[in-house]
Amino acid sequence: MNQKIFKPIRKAVFPVAGLGTRFLPATKSMPKEMLPLVDRPLIQHAFEEAREAGIEEFIFVTGRGKELLEEHFDYQPELEQTLESRGKFDMLEKVKTSEMPEGKLFLTRQPKPLGLGHAIWCAKKLIGDEPFAVMLPDDVFLSDTGCLKQMVDCYNEYGGNMMAVMDVPKEDTQKYGVLDIEDDDGKVAKIKGLVEKPKPEDAPSTLSIIGRYILQPEIFDYLSKFEKGAGGEIQLTDAIAHQIGKYPVNGFRFKGKRFDCGGRVGFIEANIAFSLKDKEIGEDVRKIIKSYEGKI
């Protein structure tokens, strides 16, 4: 077999400068990425998924009022000593899951909300000349293998640019980047076009981008032009569309359930699903949910 070797995906960009208006007033002074999904903030779910996929460098594109995010991943000696002296070793283990490997967190800022493409462009210097992942912490997955790890495994076969995709209801296409499909084997869809947030009647399909990407550094050539797209914003989708024909551009159908934690309903559903799966509280939560049946 003539298997090509592609450069490994070592770096991931986390755009976290967004305002989180859908959760106001909770997000008035707290970053939306710090909202807890059971016992971990959303950003930690994305961080752990990235680590599982072999990511070594974590690049946060932050903005004003987002300092808590870097604090969260810091080493807290007083807390760890207190837990240790009280014999709370299970809690200590949990705290350690939020520690960033030394020297591996990089921060850059997006000073103005000019769009997702612009946020990624802000990480250009830190990425350099290698392929990288993008993780939108609003999208959370419940799966045996993390979404990014599934993608990296598939990328090692296909190379190029790859996005996590799933079919969405037709009326929802205007919330997503939507694929114009050339070829589809049920797992990998070869893309011949991409449209950001099309109206249902204009959407080329219902197969839509979910917040995980593997991108080639050439994406920065287009992003550096600062061209505005849908909603007057610099769109990552447009930059990827410009790669079609030059590099492989594929959609990857991940295995597992995705939750849109960028809105209240998806966030609450994710909390229910993740807590039902939790070893410590799952059974109690199941009983509580049952107790509400037909009562409210």
**What's the min distance (Å) between Cβ of 194 and ligand G1P?**
8
Q: Maximum distance among all alpha carbons in the chain?
A: 62
Q: How many residues bind ligand G1P (CB under 6 A)?
A: 13
Binding residues for ligand G1P restricted to 248-277, rule: CB under 6 A? 262
> In sequence order, which ranges of the chain are alpha helices (DSSP H)?
42-52, 67-72, 77-85, 89-96, 116-121, 124-127, 147-158, 219-223, 236-241, 264-277, 282-292
Residue 174: phi and psi, rounded to 5, are -75, 0
Nearer to ligand G1P, 107 or 166 (CB): 166
**First CA to last CA across the chain, in angstroms?**
60
Q: Would you state the structure tokens that stand for residue 78, as one six-digit string?
A: 């007083």
Write down how long the chain is: 296
* Cβ proximity of 180 and 192 under 8 Å: yes
Of 12, 136, 140, 270, the residue at the interface with ligand G1P (CB under 6 A) is 136
Of 20, 137, 211, 251, the residue at the interface with ligand G1P (CB under 6 A) is 211
**What's the min distance (Å) between Cβ of 175 and ligand G1P?**
6
DSSP 230: G
DSSP 124: H
Residue 244 in contact with ligand G1P, rule: CB under 6 A: no
Nearer to ligand G1P, 63 or 177 (CB): 177
Residue 47 in contact with ligand G1P, rule: CB under 6 A: no
What's the one-letter identity of residue 55?
I
139/290 Cα distance (integer angstroms) = 27
Residue 209 in contact with ligand G1P, rule: CB under 6 A: yes
Q: Determine the residue with CB nearest ligand G1P.
A: 177
Residue 210 in contact with ligand G1P, rule: CB under 6 A: yes
What's the one-letter identity of residue 132?
F
Binding residues for ligand G1P restricted to 74-133, rule: CB under 6 A? 116
Among the residue ranges 27-35, 85-93, 179-187, 209-217, the one whose residues contact ligand G1P (CB under 6 A)? 209-217
71/105 Cα distance (integer angstroms) = 11
58 CB burial (10 A radius; 0-12, 13-18, 19+): buried
Residue 196 in contact with ligand G1P, rule: CB under 6 A: yes
Nearer to ligand G1P, 9 or 209 (CB): 209
Nearer to ligand G1P, 136 or 219 (CB): 136
Residue 237 in contact with ligand G1P, rule: CB under 6 A: yes
Residue 208 in contact with ligand G1P, rule: CB under 6 A: yes
* Cβ proximity of 18 and 61 under 8 Å: no
Of 20, 31, 177, 229, the residue at the interface with ligand G1P (CB under 6 A) is 177
Nearer to ligand G1P, 83 or 242 (CB): 242
Helix, strand, coil percentages in the chain from 3-state DSSP, rounded to 5: 35, 25, 40
Among the residue ranges 4-12, 41-49, 203-211, 242-250, the one whose residues contact ligand G1P (CB under 6 A)? 203-211
Q: Is the peptide bond before 25 cis (omega within 30 degrees of 0)?
A: yes
Among the residue ranges 120-128, 153-161, 202-210, 271-279, the one whose residues contact ligand G1P (CB under 6 A)? 202-210
Residues in the site for ligand G1P, rule: CB under 6 A?
Answer: 116, 136, 139, 176-177, 196, 208-211, 236-237, 262
